[in-house]
Amino acid sequence: MRLRCLLLMWLVSCGSGHNTRMCVADDQCIQAGINGFCVASSVDHTHRWCAFPDVGCASHLKYGILAGDGLEEMCVTPIDGGTIDATLDDGAAIDGPLIADGGIVDAAPGHPPVTSGQFADLVLGQPDFTTGTVNTGGESDISMKVPAGVSIQGTSLLVGDGGNARVLAWAGLPTVSRQGATFLIGQPSFTMHTSSTSQTLLSQGNTYVVADAMRVFVSDRQNSRILIFTPTPTTTGAAATFVVGAANFTTSTGGTTASLLNHPAGVWSDGTRLIVADQSNSRVLIYDPIPTSNGASASIVLGQADFTTATVTSPPTASRWLFHAMSTSTARDCSSSTAATTASWCGTASRQRMTLPPTM
């Protein structure tokens, strides 16, 4: 009987007043159709029990009905005064609202935050959570300089490392702190960079990146262009397929037309349309469909009266877009109750308030 108990102790604990079930992974924790987490016991950290979301607990987690150590349906609490989800700067990886004691790893990253103030699990680009030095240790696959855009494509992570004129790519989501990138876009090597205007090189500056299921879009801000890579690159130094905002890969003059950009910032795509925040032109351009040739013209402009105007107005907010009418310097708020009196101005497709999506 004792031998049988030892062999099965990961499943069922023997000699307790109720049936208990230990766990070794999160996917074993399902209770009443709710997915939970496999966490260390707050009584004996060598034991692991399933816990499930519960907003009534400070940790937002409560042990399940099959937990042992007298923890059945008790709130998950830290061990020895520790914290929920510890900050580990030694390369260990934990995640979720889990308990760490003495460097014990509770789970691999993969769960979103579940409580306010939750610590980060990993840090990329720095050796620890308290260092902020540019290119710590020298320019490499583990260093960064002024990163901006971040995007995920499936299980791949893309980071716009603008200060190094490149995009770092991890073929799988990182599982440890300071994990090196798998490959990069915009430069031929991890250890050096050249700021340039070509089909394979980027310029230094804020580099934003986004990916859909098939492509990667890179906002090459200082070159006033968007580079489209299709299919998604898998090796260092890949050449862009198309350029938006310029007639070719070696031009970076910028401008204010339907086919030119001026220091673009954010970029986004739903797989059908491309949307670009053309920052220095104080406008947003929509390309529908996604361009399949160099120098394509935008379909819609938001924030300006037409494609050749770049008037600066009060900054937009989450609730409204402010524009200057063509005949006056007074800003018009097309989301306000007075918009009806200027319907002919506010209603045109080139300067309408953003809808889902704007129409032609």
Could you read off the pLDDT of 99-158 as tens digits, one per residue? 433 333 344 455 556 555 667 778 899 988 888 999 999 999 999 999 999 999 988 999
- CA R_g for the chain: 26
Per-residue pLDDT of the chain (360 residues; tens, 9 = 90+): 444 443 333 444 444 456 888 888 878 888 888 888 887 787 776 788 888 888 777 667 789 999 998 899 998 875 444 444 433 333 333 344 334 333 333 444 555 565 556 677 788 999 888 889 999 999 999 999 999 999 999 889 999 999 999 999 999 888 778 889 999 999 999 999 999 999 999 999 889 999 999 999 999 999 999 999 999 999 999 999 999 999 999 999 899 999 999 999 999 999 999 999 999 999 999 999 999 999 999 999 999 999 999 988 666 544 334 443 332 233 344 444 333 333 333 433 333 333 334 444
Structure-block tokens of residue 41? 């016991």
Question: DSSP letters of 291-334?
Answer: --STTPPPSEEESSSSTT-----SPP-SS--EEE-TT-SSEEET
**From CA 104, how far away is CA 93, in angstroms rounded?**
9
Could you read off the pLDDT of 198-218 as tens digits, one per residue? 999 999 988 999 999 999 999
**From CA 305, how far away is CA 181, in angstroms rounded?**
43
Closest-CA residue to 237 (of 178, 193, 279): 193
Q: What angle do CA 17, 20, 22 make, to 5 degrees?
A: 145
C-beta contacts of 2-5 below 8 A and 24+ residues apart:
none
C-beta contacts of 333-339 below 8 A and 24+ residues apart:
none
CB of 215 within 8 A of CB of 244? no
Closest-CA residue to 237 (of 164, 166, 293, 171): 166
Closest-CA residue to 304 (of 289, 286, 284, 334): 284
pTM, two decimals, is 0.63
Tell me the sheet residues that pair with 48. 40
The CATH class of 147-312 is: mainly beta
Domain ranges of the chain: 1-121, 147-312
Q: What angle do CA 339, 344, 348 make, to 5 degrees?
A: 100
